[in-house]
Amino acid sequence: MSARQPLRIGILGSGKGSNCQSIIDAIAQKRLDAEIACVLSDVAEACILARARRHRIPAEFISGAPFKTKLDGEAEQAYIAALRRYGANAVALAGFMRIVKPGLLGAFPGRILNIHPALLPAFPGMESWKQALAYGVKVTGCTVHLVDAGTDTGPIVVQKAVPVLEDDTAETLHARIQVEEHKAYPEALQLLAEGRLAVAGRRVRVT
């Protein structure tokens, strides 16, 4: 039997990159047995790129144009080419504000994860913490899931619950969800690194 390849993560993000930081920290603290191959962003001035560069991680802006909300066509091919060039063998979407399409999914089958700020399948889509607050749920949280062709629909790997407090605002609730995200993402990636995710239909079993 051949030895398992070390996990080399390509991180895709559009924003501040706090989840990217949690992955960097988990690797440094040896809670996550992986390397970050590269950080790619569709926003040239995104903090996630500056963060990666500070840690001497290869970081590139790659335009998603002409599309605004999906990664498709030539832009998708440019992302796949960069991920391959940097030797990524898995992809972590960390605040990447585009729907990924079959081209990227097919290039890394079963090896693309996303983090979502709600307990899926509740509150898919944008600004889920605001949706949760407006709905009046008492508990929300975060979800790390494998990415499929839907929006926030893939098999669930790790979830963490966060109580909604009486005096929560959108900002305080999102801040507490992010604390849990920063634990959940490295945990899920470590399961992928150890080859312990067995997917059967919708269900992910940790072996």
- 17 near ligand GRF (CB under 6 A): yes
Residue 132 or 205 with smaller CB distance to ligand GRF: 132
Rounded Cα distance, 187 and 31, in Å: 8
| Residues between 78 and 107 with contacts to ligand GRF, criterion CB under 6 A | 94-95
Q: Which of 7, 12, 19, 76 binds ligand GRF (CB under 6 A)?
A: 19
Do the Cβ atoms of 76 and 104 come closer than 8 Å? yes
Could you give the CA distance from residue 168 to residue 96 in angstroms, rounded to a whole number? 26
d(CA 53, CA 104): 24
Q: Which of 34, 100, 115, 197 binds ligand GRF (CB under 6 A)?
A: 115
- When binding is defined by CB under 6 A, the residue of 51, 98, 111, 116 that contacts ligand GRF is 116
> Per CB under 6 A, does 18 bind ligand GRF?
yes
Residue 182 annotated in active site: no
List residues binding ligand GRF (CB under 6 A): 13, 15-19, 94-95, 115-117, 178, 181
